Structure 1
Amino acid sequence: MIQLLIVDDEQIERDGMKAILHTSFPSLVIHEARNGSDAIDVAKQIKPDLILMDIKMPGINGLNALVQIKEERPDTKFIMVTAYDTFDYMRQAIKLGASDYLLKPSKANDIVETVGKALKEIVYEKKERATTEHQQAVLQKTKAVMETDLVTQLLFEHVHEVSSKILVDILDIDTGCEIFVMNIRTPNSSNRYSVVKETMRRTGTCLVGALSSNQVPVIVFRNSKISFRSQAISLARELLSIREKHEEGWFIGIGNVYPSLSDVRRSYQESLVAMETFSTLKYQFYSKDLVGEETIEVRVKKIKEDISDQIKLGQWGTVRNAVISLIPFFEYHGILPVQGQQRILEILWVASRVLQDLGVESETPIFAYQPTDYRQLRTETGKLLEQMKAKYEDYYQRLEADNVEQIRQYIMEHSHEEISLETLGNKIGLSPIYISKLFKEKLGINYIDFLTRCRIEKAKKLMQDPSRSIKEIAIEVGYHEPNYFSKVFKKNVHVSPKEYQNSILGKEK
């Protein structure tokens, strides 16, 4: 829909022009303004494509109004309307950006011809702009894919159809600029990836890599106006600011600065080492102290020793971090991916035996293929750990369901007795704290409320016998104080025990 604005201080002129245009161009959306000041306000609201502007008007004249509207709406076309004795104004209007003019009084045919010509130009330009905008959007998407591809080739030595040298040229990247790598780990990273990309590109010149194993590598080009640490900390804080409240799992490893893009893999390896360390700041710079003199044998042995207790406690996040942390350690020490795979398998086999000892059915972990790079090794290791975690959680969910049912049955059968959590724990063989937690998580009710519910339901059934007194029923379901029983019953059923019994007996009669 094309928006057209008619500006004239004479109502009769506006009405006449509007009638002619409606007849010839019924799809036009036509607005009116009675002077230049009014035209400026209306133009801000409707964003007109074409304005028919009278030149001589009280207050702000047509020429001044044209200038002000053009500042905000440079694409808006103007057809100036002038009398014969103001033709000099028209020459000035053309210089100011008017595309055509009409002389007062104008014939209907002249108006239609002049406006029709402007409308054709507007339609053509809109199509051209739409095509250009579409092409720009496609180009931006293509560049984003190229950028991700380039980071993959630089960091993992992949060889793709379009080489990294060609991509560098297309993206117009200065290969001699100082760089460093930030590796970002996020929870629910598939939902966070686009936010991370947008944040990094907004805060400075960088190349954002693909999401892999909950991590996003970013090659950052140095800003020579500030120090390396200041730049990295500023970026890290900007990234961490997008976290949702209480969201855990974010961490950023930061590699050292290197003189050019050709050294990027070294900085990336360092960022991985930094990522696998602990820091209360949620980010960590690489330093040689993080690697230390610890040998691979010592590190693998320590993980094997710790993994049993970690699995028994359900600390799968700790298990995953410990195992995955070996991969940058291998890479830093020049261990081949296939050799690293064998060392990780040793640990996963220990984990599998721990699961079997717990009663969890777990197959011996096997990698689907030999990795050709550390990225593949990280991805496949993560998959195997997730499979083991899923087996563990499924087993304990079923075990908890069995425990909940066993506890429910026991309470229902013994609700008339004095049952404390400690007594129940001793009978079932579970801790009181665990039982309380199970009730809340699995049944959505606490232990005392469930016991009360069981006693009330049993009392309702006993009230169907007219020979039973309320006092007898109270004692039989576990309440030694009839008054207290009446209070609890009314709170849960909203009538007194006697009123409930009378209603039941009354219905039976």
Structure 2
Amino acid sequence: MKICVADDESEVRLSIIQKIRSVAPEAEVYDVGFGLSALKGINAVVPDVAFLDIRMPEMNGLELLAEVRRNHPQVKLVMLTGYQEFEYAWQALQLGASDFLLKPADRDHLKRIVREASADLHQSFLKDMAACRPWLDASFLAMEGLECRRADCWFDSSVMKRIRFWQREAESLSREEAEEAICIFNVRSDTAAAVLIAKSSIPGTFAERGEFREAFLREWDKWESARFFGDTPSRPRLPSAAASLALQQIRTELLALSRAFDLGRLEVKLSDWAAIVAQLELKLLRKECALLLGLLEEGFIHSDTVLMLEEDKIQYWLSWVRRFRTWTDLLARIRGLIVEATRALKELKEEAASDGGLVEQAMAHIRQSSYSDMSLEKVATAIGVHPVTLSRMFKLRVGVNFVQYLTRQRLEQARLMLVSSNKTVREIAGEIGYSDYRYFCSLFKKEYGFLPREYRNLE
């Protein structure tokens, strides 16, 4: 915390500064003199707290207060006053001073003022962090276990800041980094983040609070990509436009080979697909993987060529894809899923698809399980069939595929929770398996004609 003291008597300034340092040894305390010199000093330091004497030559305390309030409205201003100056002190409070301190300064009163200023900074910091949650949600990130260590540095634009991510089980902050930490929090169950004081202005740093979102998401993209790909500067990058037509053709060929149960050529074509996809940026790679899996799932169910996917289908597979932390793991699972599905359908064909008992088992499993962790894979494993086979069974028996059926069940559960519980809409969305709050709201409105809050108010 930075504190400025302005008084035309040097002995008074020195006394107050010594007392502040005794009750708040971690604070940076500045002697800014008095009058115009004090204004110049405060403008240069931009403190968290300023103590201003009411009676000073050149510029009295009320005039100085007005100037500081105009230039730096966030600064907590405390007036220094004598017993005969209560009228001025009252004017100061009316002009925006937060407190006044009788001279000679009482040590306990000083301690209380500094503690209140620190508490105010902490609350303002928490308010800033709460405002970050919507855009973190949109990026499938969180801010859990938030620990604030240096709120004063967060608000100080002269302090350069940087962002650091790490895997919680594999590493931690160094001792030096821990001392530089402004705040620490968890963005995922296995990943932590910290805002640290940067020693210099280097790429990736920021100074103003308003720059945090851009800096955070930029550094997250870099860190997540490096972890996902084991990234090196030599990894080839392919423009999305150049990849689009080639991937569209390969998806069509993969679907045809799967329907023909041609496993040999299917695996070769999957390698061609993977070679192109691995050159995309991470966000585009995930979307392409979700698109391929969704199209193949629909292609196994329908005999005609599938050209378009519904948004809920894409979102389902995107959610599935995001579970994988590395490209190696994701690619291996995609290969396995597609090859296993082709083999399973070749063996089961129409006999498996006509087995209504398995569909009933799947529905019962869904009713008895938690929606928060429900997936096509888990239900298929529970009843002993391949995921794509299960989805095909649903389409033939129920008229919709598994993802559509699960979406309707989740939304119905959400509707019931809205009218029977006091949980927030965001809490309900999380409990039924939607980490993307805005997407959940759009699905709910599409199904029931109202946003969740509107529906609750109707009831």
TM over 0.5: no
Between Structure 1 and Structure 2, whose CA radius of gyration is higher?
Answer: 1
Relative to the length of structure 1, the TM-score reads 0.33
Q: Which has the higher contact order (CA 8 A, sep 6+)?
A: 2
Relative to the length of structure 2, the TM-score reads 0.35
